[in-house]
Structure 1
Amino acid sequence: MLTRSLAPVVAALTLLLPGVAPSQEELTVYPSNIRPKVIAVPPFATADGTDALGEGTFSDVILRNLQISGWFTPLPDPRLASQQDRSDRARGQTDFAEWGRIGADYLVRGTYAMSSGQIVADVEVFDVSIGQRVIGRRYERIASQQRDMAHAIADEIVETVTSERGIAQSRILYIAQSGPRRELAVMDCDGGRQRNLTNDGATVMAACWGANNTEVYFTSTRDYNPDLCGIFLDGSELWYISRLPGLNLSPSWNPRTQRIALTISRDGNSEIYTMNRDGSSPLRLTHDRGIDSSPCWTPDGRQILFTSDRASGRPQLYVMDGDGRGQRRLTVRTGNNYNDGASISPDGRRVAFSSRLDGQFDIFVMDISGADSSWQRLTNHPGDDEDPFWTWDGQHLVFSSTRTGSKQIHIMNADGSNVHQLTTRGVNLSPVAEPLPPTR
């Protein structure tokens, strides 16, 4: 089994050979330091004269976002929320005592209307224990942005109750495979609105978010060489960044340095380079006989983590300065002799990666120092858990897993708890969570 970084390298090298064609939701048992609040989100009511959008159009999306946040959990029996909501609306008042009796800590209630291509939702959120409203707001969007509105509502609930910003409005890049085709795709952070950004039949290998979160950089074999390309998130334009002979693979963009780190094999061996986002001023950082791959910038742009098999012939994590100086090995723990695919937390303090132990790959987290005592195993399931990547808040990790059979994308809390499966069809891998998104 090859993990995030070396797998694309080997696959790309295979593609360069002449005559070779390109080839349930689940919860963990790990405890969290967060005690989720029980929240009731009954279906939104429709205003007079408005056609219903379908049962749960808002409530289902809001509730799933709140569950993924890790701060909230639903009532054990969701039917109770609908029944009590109907009772309250018939009586014209909210029976907080009854909401508390059925187990709710918070209640979300809303009414929406459609008019002239706009959708308007009036939303109230109540703290059941004190019987007081904590949110009362009107949301307005164009009709096609119903999901965006639901995400915004969920994020406001998270921030109001916890003082932490939610991640519901962020997105995830990933590789979607159907048969032999691997395309670049994007989806909402809850797994909704999955769509391909490429549909040209070429093989896509590895991607990253680019400038202003409106550009995406990725490797494609559209011209029969693993070239580094760029594309706007709306699919309006595609361009080439690096078309050097051999690999142009595994990009990592840093907005502070305005440089892309990537793997290039122009000299016959996989090495780490950096370059500008237009492909200019390439700078080679590593000079080693081993395979150096999968660079990952630290948030401050001062260092780069990467994978190399230079010491033992097996992948290990290394770190170096942004100019290539000070290269040193991070993972030296006995027993974990295959470590790959580093992702650095937004605060620059923790590293998530995939490690092979007892014949399977699992997700681990350690301090940026690499100290053995800091290692924490987050997953331990049948199948392989790989490709970890931090969400912008540093509270969640997206990753790929074969625990349900085919490789699919999941999201979990940063302590390994609260796992949710995001994709179910085909094969999906290499998720990359969006950096801190602008308010949408």
Structure 2
Amino acid sequence: MLQVIKKYFSYVIAVLVIALSMIGLSSPALAQMNIEITGVGQSLYPIAVMRFKDESKLPVSVTEIVRQDLARSGYFKNTENGNATESDEGTPNYQSWAARGADALVVGTVVQTGPNQFQIRYKLFDVRKSESLGGLDINTSTDNLRAAGHKIADDIIFKLLGERGIFSTRLSYVIKEGKRYRLVISDADGQNIRNAMNSGEPIISPSWSPDGKKVAYVSFEDRKPVIYVHELATGRRVSLSNQKGNNSAPAWSPDGKKLAVSLSKDGNTQIYGINADGSGLHRLTRGRTIDTEPQYSADGRYIYFTSDRGGNPQIYRMSAEGEQVEGAKRITFKQGFVTSPRISPDGKYLAYIANIGGAFRLYILNLATGDAQALTDGTSDESPSFAANGRYVLYSTKVKGKRVLAAVSVDGNSKQVLSIPGSDVRQPSWGPFMD
């Protein structure tokens, strides 16, 4: 078994993971993500999100987008699910809403301001304290209605919970359709899918730049793994690393000025640093084993990576300037086979994949205490990625033999599965906050 595991690890390092378990797909171009939410917390904040007045003018329901976002957060329970509206003018009857079990009230109105142009007004009220918490006036086009709904949900999260919402962030992931592969960008709820890259060869390891404007990834279009940086607004892309051998696992530094990558140009796979414009390539590890999957720490001082230098794959940490500056320190000890390190945006947690008796399962490690816990009971988890607020981990797993995306809260209480009917999706990466 140990030899089989080691062989698998080498296979991962050689960037051939994409060849495993891929199946043919029906076209997802017109399909939408299905979201199944389970295991939410026991104490949910009761909120009444009323149908926005005159919303029938819109091709999509902003009310439903807000309701669904709040439900997916794992913090809220909507007490109003019908089509009743409530005026956004004047003061609501707080006593009446309290009697109906709501601790907060959301109301809104849609006003058409021109062809395909709308103003969406929303207000939030704290029923407990009998006070207005303000709201937003959003001018938007028909094409950006979903973004408007996400912005409102984010504002509700911030006003009621005091933290920044992640509904306006984006996801990237890979879909295989027949013999073709697509790198796609979507909203945080998996909807509004847009193609970024199409290829007849595999695409893997997407990684968002800190400003959310670019995605680095590995493409096999030249029949070998090459790292590209793709500018999403223009579609322009450049080859970042096309060295001899494998070019894999790109990871951005927090300031966006450089990346850490894994290259086998000098023999065994090692970690290198490279400037975001492709200049300044330099080696960071100098082991005789396999070092790969680099990830910068939240403050940019360190790089976490996977290495089998101790016999089996484990997570290590070194200076971002290389292990010659500060030797590599082993971080994971709880399991015998660990890969895929991902650091939370606040630097408190390390997510990783552990092999437990042949089952690949998502774990989270508290870096301060050393406590580790399984976030899932899965057997085929891979590619973890933290949300921008650090509250959730996105990953790929199998449900009924099919690859889907899943997200779990860092406490393990709230889970959701995002799937496209008939499709296989994997290699997810959760984008950063957008200014």
Could you say which TM-score interval applies, normalised by the shorter chain? 0.7 to 0.9
Report the equivalent of 2:47.
39
Q: State the distance in 1 between where 2:419 and 2:151 align.
A: 22
Cα pair distance change 1:352/1:13, threshold 3 Å: closer
Give the counterpart of 1:114 among 112, 115, 122.
112
Q: State the distance in 1 between where 2:403 and 2:346 align.
A: 29
Please state whether the residue corresponding to 1:197 is helix, strand or coil: strand
Cα pair distance change 1:105/1:5, threshold 3 Å: farther
Aligned-residue identity in percent: 28
Q: Is the 8 A contact 1:155 1:168 kept in 2?
A: yes
Give the counterpart of 1:428 among 386, 405, 425.
425
Q: CA deviation at 1:28?
A: 5.0
- Bigger mean CA deviation after superposition, 341-350 or 112-121: 112-121
Q: CA deviation at 1:260?
A: 0.6
Q: What runs of 5+ residues in structure 1 fail to find an aligned partner?
A: 16-23
Report the equivalent of 1:323.
321
Q: State the distance in 2 between where 1:412 and 1:189 align.
A: 14
- Bigger mean CA deviation after superposition, 320-329 or 403-412: 403-412
Please state whether the residue corresponding to 1:213 is helix, strand or coil: coil
Please state whether the residue corresponding to 1:361 is helix, strand or coil: strand
Q: State the distance in 1 between where 2:251 and 2:364 align.
A: 20
Please state whether the residue corresponding to 1:407 is helix, strand or coil: strand
Report the equivalent of 1:367.
366
Q: State the distance in 1 between where 2:215 and 2:347 align.
A: 22
Q: State the distance in 2 between where 1:71 and 1:384 align.
A: 28
Q: State the distance in 1 between where 2:151 and 2:18 align.
A: 44
Amino acid at match of 2:296: W
Q: State the distance in 2 between where 1:115 and 1:109 align.
A: 20
Q: State the distance in 2 between where 1:46 and 1:146 align.
A: 14
Q: State the distance in 1 between where 2:371 and 2:333 align.
A: 12
1:64 and 2:65 matched:
no
RMSD: 2.8
Q: Is the 8 A contact 2:254 2:299 kept in 1?
A: no
1:260 and 2:251 matched:
no
Alignment of 1:376-395 (within 5 A): 376-381=373-378, 383-395=379-391
Q: Is the 8 A contact 1:216 1:230 kept in 2?
A: yes
1:412 and 2:408 matched:
yes
The TM-score normalised by the length of structure 2 is 0.86
Q: State the distance in 2 between where 1:5 and 1:61 align.
A: 41
Q: State the distance in 1 between where 2:391 and 2:141 align.
A: 31
Q: State the distance in 2 between where 1:297 and 1:10 align.
A: 21
Please state whether the residue corresponding to 1:45 is helix, strand or coil: coil
Q: Is the 8 A contact 1:5 1:294 kept in 2?
A: no
Cα pair distance change 1:59/1:30, threshold 3 Å: closer
Amino acid at match of 1:389: S
Q: CA deviation at 1:300?
A: 1.5
Q: Is the 8 A contact 2:58 2:142 kept in 1?
A: no
Please state whether the residue corresponding to 2:125 is helix, strand or coil: strand
Q: Is the 8 A contact 2:37 2:72 kept in 1?
A: no
Q: What runs of 5+ residues in structure 2 fail to find an aligned partner?
A: 20-33
Q: CA deviation at 1:27?
A: 4.5
Report the equivalent of 2:31.
none
Please state whether the residue corresponding to 2:222 is helix, strand or coil: coil
Q: State the distance in 1 between where 2:402 and 2:108 align.
A: 38
Alignment of 1:91-170 (within 5 A): 94=92, 96-116=94-114, 117-170=116-169
Please state whether the residue corresponding to 1:149 is helix, strand or coil: helix
Q: CA deviation at 1:412?
A: 2.3
Q: Is the 8 A contact 1:271 1:291 kept in 2?
A: yes
Q: CA deviation at 1:283?
A: 1.0
Report the equivalent of 2:58.
53
Q: CA deviation at 1:97?
A: 4.5
Alignment of 1:333-372 (within 5 A): 333=334, 336-368=335-367
The TM-score normalised by the length of structure 1 is 0.85
